[in-house]
Amino acid sequence: MWNRALVGLIGTATVAASGGGMEGSGARAGVVAEAQSLADTTVMASGAEDRRTVSITVYNQNFGLVREIRRMRLPGGTIALEYGDVAATLQPETVHIRALGSRDLHVLEQNYRYDLLSPQKLLEKYVGRTVTVYRHDPEAGREVGVPADVLSVNGGTVLRIGDEITFNYPGRFAFPEVPDNLIPEPTLVWMLDTESGEQDVEVSYLTQDMTWKSDYVLVLADDERSAGMTGWVTLNNRSGTGFENAELKLVAGDVQRVSGQMAQPQFAADMLRAAEADSRGFTEEGFFEYHLYTLGRPTDLQNNEQKQVTLLESERLSTTKRLVFPGAPYYYRSQYGEVASNQKVSTFIEFDNSEDAGMGMALPAGIVRVYKRNSS
């Protein structure tokens, strides 16, 4: 993959250096020498199998912070590291990489490859090249292939087959190879200057299309003096990749956003810390001007998945029912001075959010659905 990137760089340099005379020849010789040295760059790949830990912090504004540590054995010198299994909706300018150890690691260049392989992309890359189109031959009773030059794919596929130009030709297209600049999944590519040996490398970035919300179910006892309450956290991951055995954190509160860009809370990567949690649900702590909820066990968050996790459970709430009717006189007069009638009384259920009641955490905003047990 890195070699494919180098071809574009070398081509640009050759055009720029193609002046006349001996000076241009010297420049071209320098470019050739540089091309040979870059072509010798070691290319390494890293995927989810290298992960040691991964932490996901999801904000309730449709974005999340991914922070993971991968263990890799890197050669010394200049290498190209293809870093796969990243979110398809990551924001490249928020990516941060560093080595966790005594060995040096310097980033020389970063690229984000997202030209993904698809039937349409494959055809586009083969414009000006030859493919094979297979059609069923009734007389032969099998598929027969004919070579075809792809002339255009703008609004339809235009082909040259033999001496004819045709378009939207029915059949099965076969390609000799996948073009170098098409990839099956989004990939970060770094040019690194490293020391030889095994290293733990930490990478963090912000990604879109992660979100969460909270919902509550309150079940009143028959006498309406006590209740049980369950809180749920619903997470949605549409970031383009999944995360297994991840530490999960949730941040409640509106993070300041720069207009037209995704929020970039710089404090998130360095200051998030784990709360002392039990192994079942979430614990809450104040964090800056927000609330941080940490799940006390690792969990899997797959791509295109909606996951519900228990936020809290309590069966010993003491409740009070209050009927509230606003008393301001102007609520009940029409524009003609007549007194309005048949106004509704609002019903409120009050309870103490305390540790004695089995709760005691700041509750993130959400819908509370109230039920009441009957005598049966």
pLDDT, tens digit (0-9, with 9 covering 90-100), for 163-176: 999 998 999 999 99
Whether 341 has a pLDDT exceeding 90, the answer reads no
Q: pTM of the entire structure?
A: 0.71
pLDDT of 276 reads: 37
Is 222 strand, coil or helix? coil
Whether 287 has a pLDDT exceeding 70, the answer reads no
Whether 298 has a pLDDT exceeding 80, the answer reads yes
pLDDT of 119 reads: 92
Percent of the chain whose pLDDT exceeds 90: 61
pLDDT of 226 reads: 94
pLDDT of 376 reads: 67
Who wins on pLDDT, 318 or 28? 318
Confidence of residue 375 (pLDDT cuts 50, 70, 90): confident
pLDDT, tens digit (0-9, with 9 covering 90-100), for 117-173: 999 999 999 999 999 999 998 888 899 999 999 999 998 999 999 999 999 899 999
pLDDT, tens digit (0-9, with 9 covering 90-100), for 237-267: 999 999 999 999 999 877 655 544 444 444 4
Percent of the chain whose pLDDT exceeds 70: 76
Confidence of residue 307 (pLDDT cuts 50, 70, 90): very high
Whether 77 has a pLDDT exceeding 70, the answer reads yes
Who wins on pLDDT, 194 or 325? 194
